[in-house]
Amino acid sequence: MHQDDQAAIYLGRPCYYALKDEACSPRWWTHWRYAPEIVASLNSALDHLVVERVQLVLIGHSGGGTLAMLMAASRHDVSAVITLAGNLDIRRWAELHDYSPLEGSLNPVDFPLPDSVSQLHFVGRLDEVTPPLLLEEALPSLTQGVTLPYFYVIDEIDHSCCWEAHWPDIVREVEARQPGTLSR
């Protein structure tokens, strides 16, 4: 966000930043991290912050990409979703890593987006948390129509390292896919 001069809002997951709130419990950052209540809370916060009728572009990294997809599935004001190392099939991700299923969480592959919402998904070739194979397998389930989302693998990136260095290239790619219509 610091590299971009466009208007932006950063939303953090409820109960994710060690808030002293009695409503917070470990389930909200473990099995229920993508629960309907989490998605509704983020959408409610966004509704309070966005005062003008605009088309939104939701951008998320890792679990933020998961939440961006889930938020977009329940909104009518989203023109694009951009994910960086997004976990877009939580069942398959849990199986791959031999984790217990995220019971209580929504799965983006179960909520395809309409073709009117552009999707650009970026993943690092070196990412072992959400490897490119997971995103590639999820692609056919991510839309309601015949148009597949754009999918990019960036060679020098793993799950957390070096996204900032590639952000200008990602922005150029996004603008090439959405000429004249994308406001980040």
pLDDT for 30-69, tens place per residue? 888 999 999 999 999 999 888 777 889 999 999 999 999 9
The whole-angstrom distance between residue 1's C-alpha and the CA centroid of its chain comes to 15
Task: Spell out the domain ranges in the chain.
Answer: 26-177
Distance CA 94, CA 22 (A): 28
Distance CA 181, CA 184 (A): 10
CATH number of 26-177: 3.40.50.1820
What pLDDT does residue 184 have? 33
Q: Is 180 left (phi over 0), alpha (psi -120 to 50) or beta?
A: left
pLDDT for 123-133, tens place per residue? 999 999 999 99
Instruction: Check pLDDT > 60 for residue 3.
Output: yes
- 178 vs 168, higher pLDDT: 168
Distance CA 165, CA 141 (A): 30
Beta-bridge mates of residue 60: 83
pLDDT for 133-165, tens place per residue? 999 999 888 887 667 778 889 998 999 998 888
How many helices (H) and strands (E) in the chain?
5, 4
